[in-house]
Amino acid sequence: VERKKRAAAVIEDVERNLATPTALLRSIADAMVVEMERGLRGDIHACLKMLISYVDNLPTGDEHGLFYALDLGGTNFRVLRVQLGGREKRVVKQQYDEVSIPPHLMVGTSMELFDFIAAALAKFVDTEGDDFHLPEGRQRELGFTFSFPVHQTSISSGTLIKWTKGFSINGAVGEDVVGELSRAMERQGLDMKVTALVNDTVGTLAGGRYMDNDVVAAVILGTGTNAAYVEHANAIPKWTGLLPRSGNMVINTEWGSFKSDKLPLSEYDKAMDFESLNPGEQIYEKMISGMYLGEIVRRILLKLAHDASLFGDVVPPKLEQPFILRTPDMSAMHHDSSHDLKILGAKLKDIVGVADTSLEVRYITRHICDIVAERGARLAAAGIYSILKKIGRDKVPSDGSKLPRTVVALDGGLYEHYKKFSSCLEATLQDLLGEEASSSVVAKLANDGSGIGAALLAASHSQYG
């Protein structure tokens, strides 16, 4: 009985500290709009960097030819080639390959990392079949999706601002990532030119627009989280170049680094942040994205094990191990709807090493998954809502006209595979928008849109015009 009381006290505390009532989400969205404006002004203290992508035109559908793309930014990297057939034939053929990055390369030297990538790319190019056509005498061209904050200096160059998501490589910050990739390709004897360097959010936005003309923003919910959207060029005070003819500029918000005292930051978040590779940074990302959700659940379960002997008299040693509980496992536990929570029980046995958990312990575990996933999904919805506010697509115009159809392209393993997360996000967004506006706003899965998007941007920025 004493144990139960202590467990109930911890759970109550977690519920209270991770709560995201709608009113709070609205004030978080307002704070985010303020930070977006600061970032667009170039205020160095803004927590949203609002990076200029140099993409002032999104794909039109006319792109044609053979293009490659390479996507680096998480646990896997992907290579892709696509034969574009213009307005009529669209994507004639595409092929891709996925390679996981050996963990030691994520914390090694940048030369090793880029050599590994270039070697895999060269191998992939070798398998190009006859159904792909490169005109005589032309160099192959590549769109490079690089999902870390980059200070772009043109559409095809930029320097790394910082690593995130478990990457930490000495000496790469401040370097031109296209230069590093190009030199590694040369070392491999691979003749290929990088014509577009894009963030994965920008790639997803481009790929999304190619599929649906009403796409105005793209959001990634995978290992990390980020968003990009189409901004009016004249709403970017820090842009000192000529105004683009389109009047638009795609902005990479880097919203993962959003921070605000309005965010429901618990003791578990603070401890995880403190022990992370990048303490004090990416606070919003650490509350939302796939790299961290399972770890937050683990920390809460550990507290329950310590304070309320949730898994028996001894705290299971495996539960003490950071990142042992991965978000896909959390998702599997959360979705267990069997009457005896059999799957969840088996997962606890596998991961934590406790064989016979009571039904009550299983319910508690599922409840914790629910609280952590719900907070992440609701905070992500608040972020999307803030972008819609920023571009005036959050409500029906006051002049009585209709809100134009507004599509947000979403991608990333978390959004794609964690059903309870994605449905909570969508329901929350509807709630924030209200009935009328939400009937014009669509959240749409753009599966691997960033790869094709990068290839499309490589095409529209081809050296052969």
Do 220 and 147 meet the contact criterion of CB atoms below 8 Å apart? yes
Residues from 206 through 225 that contact Mg ion (CB under 5 A): 222
Contact positions with Mg ion (CB under 5 A) in 63-92: 73-74
- The conformational region for residue 166 under phi > 0 = left, psi -120 to 50 = alpha, else beta, is left
Phi, psi of 73 (to 5 degrees): 170, 0
Report the distance separating Cα 252 and Cα 52, nearest Å.
Answer: 6
Q: Which is nearer to Mg ion, 71 or 231 (CB)?
A: 71
Of Mg ion, ligand ADP, none, which one sits near residue 430, judging by CB under 5 to 8 A according to partner kind?
A: none
Strands 225-232 and 248-252: antiparallel
> Which partner, ligand ADP, Mg ion, none, binds residue 50 by CB below 5 to 8 Å per kind?
none
- Pick one of 143, 345, 412, 451: the residue that binds ligand ADP (CB under 6 A): 412
Kindly tell me which residue out of 26, 123, 151, 417 binds ligand ADP, with binding defined by CB under 6 A. 417
200 assigned to active site: yes
Catalytic: which of 56, 176, 200, 411?
200
In this chain, which stretch among 112-120, 198-206, 289-297, 422-430 interacts with Mg ion, using CB under 5 A? 198-206
Is 191 among the catalytic positions? no
Rounded CA gap, 61 and 142, in Å? 18
For residue 75, the minimal CB distance to ligand ADP (Å) is: 5
Minimal distance, residue 25 CB to ligand ADP, in Å: 22
Draw the binding track, 52-91, toward ligand ADP (x: CB under 6 A; -: no contact).
---------------------xxx----------------
User: Which residue, 167 or 311, has its beta carbon nearer to ligand ADP?
Assistant: 167
Residue number, 231 or 411, with CB nearest to Mg ion: 411
- In total, the chain counts a number of residues equal to 465
Based on the shown chain and the rule CB under 6 A, indicate whether residue 413 belongs to the binding site for ligand ADP: yes
Q: CA-based angle 304:308:309, to the nearest 5?
A: 90
Q: Which stretch binds ligand ADP (CB under 6 A): 41-49, 168-176, 185-193, 414-422?
A: 414-422
Shortest approach of ligand ADP to residue 165 CB, angstroms?
7
Closest separation in Å from C-beta 7 to ligand ADP: 26
CA distance 374 to 444: 19
In the region spanning residues 164 to 223, those forming contacts with ligand ADP, defined by CB under 6 A, are 222-223
Among 49, 56, 162, 165, the active-site one is: 165
- C-beta of 6 vs 417, nearer to ligand ADP: 417
The size of the interface with Mg ion (CB under 5 A), counted in residues, is 4
Q: How far is the CB of 403 from ligand ADP (least distance, A)?
A: 30
Residues from 317 through 346 that contact ligand ADP (CB under 6 A): 327-328, 331
Return the number of the residue (39 or 449) whose C-beta is nearest ligand ADP: 449
Residue closest to ligand ADP (Cβ): 74
| Residue numbers at the binding site for Mg ion (CB under 5 A) | 73-74, 200, 222
| Residue numbers at the binding site for ligand ADP (CB under 6 A) | 73-75, 222-223, 290-291, 327-328, 331, 412-414, 417-418
Active-site residue list? 165, 200
